[in-house]
Chains A and B, each alone.
Chain A
Amino acid sequence: MEEGLRHYGEGRTARAAWCWREVLELEPDHPGARDYLRSAGFSTGEVKPSGSVGEARDGLLADALDLLRKGEAQESLEMFESLARENPGRLETQGYLELVRSHLYQLYREQLRDASAVLKVKITPQEMMRFNLPANAGFVLSMIDGKTSVNEILALSGMDPFDAVRVVHKLLEAGIVEASS
């Protein structure tokens, strides 16, 4: 709930809605979450007594698509990923996820501009521990030694190129690393 409020306060309404829907997933009768969603202008993805879980999922899928149309590709990606984790066999979700991944891959590569730039860690190890980074980000960070370029990291990581580019983008955006030509 609090995280949703924080996102809402910082203008990320779609993320806020996502958080409140997560609350409803855990506690379908949570009144606060339902109120916040309505106030923010989002559907609550309510499941009618005769309805199916699938219909709720369809609602979330529609929201994810909505985010996409609004240009919030990163947020929509996270929603699609979450939906895909819950139901990996649903190929409709996986298909959209694939489209968004490829779209974002191009976007991230364009934003990287100079892929021959060398990456350097900007913060101390103690400061780094404040961040909530996934293991693949830890791996990419271990490769950054002030001599290795973005291109080399992408080639050496062995990761899916989209995941590698996404991690580099995230580290740059968070100010954990910087690029120098």
Chain B
Amino acid sequence: MSKDLSKLMPKCWNQDSKPHLFCPGCGHGITLKQLGYAIDELKIEDKLTLGIDIGCSLLVWNFFKFDTIQTHHGRTTPTMVGYKIAKPNRIALAYMGDGGGYAIGLQSLLHAAFRNNPITVILVNNENYAMTGGQMAPTTENKVITSTSPNGKQIEFGPGFKGPELVKNIANKNAFITRTSVSQPEVLKSMIKKALINQIEDEAFSFIEVLSICPTNWKTNAAESFKRLSEMEKYYPLGEIK
């Protein structure tokens, strides 16, 4: 790796797999960059294992230099819980989208929080099922148009799903639960660092929801994407929840 290139991206990114497989302007790229910098700054690259879900998050399979586990859909949290039980000295990180975390995998997430398993869960919320073509998800807000709600999401499908607020109610007192956004990369990085330190030092559950953008399925350009993200931030309040 040349000296100039190393300044463009985190050291733990796998240079050979770039340009990565995400769409132009994807919020996953911004999240993973801050995750990479957080890992670089904590110097935990050789101690960390990443579990990834099905959905757009599976495109992380060759993203980093460290080991990655591809799990079944919605089963990233229990797989990483099992991994952590078998190898307590390693750091277990679960990375998923809102479909895997809140739709199919919600019970796993709730029980991991309830048991206070010492893992870190990063959930990227872009309000739709992006890999399959932008269908309506639990996190889609009311009146938002998706490919399966052409007239806007109706009230009978429920409002946007607030995950961290739900997980907070049953989580242990040491758990760290927060919601952050790709519009604030430095805050995102500090939250990821805090969550990883929470796992290493307090041996407690930590959960970060990252509000993200999806220009391909929202059919927006850069300015419109961040405008919609700022509207999302009004419905999903940012900040440390527990």
Partners in one complex: no
- Give chain B's interface residues, CB within 8 Å of chain A: none
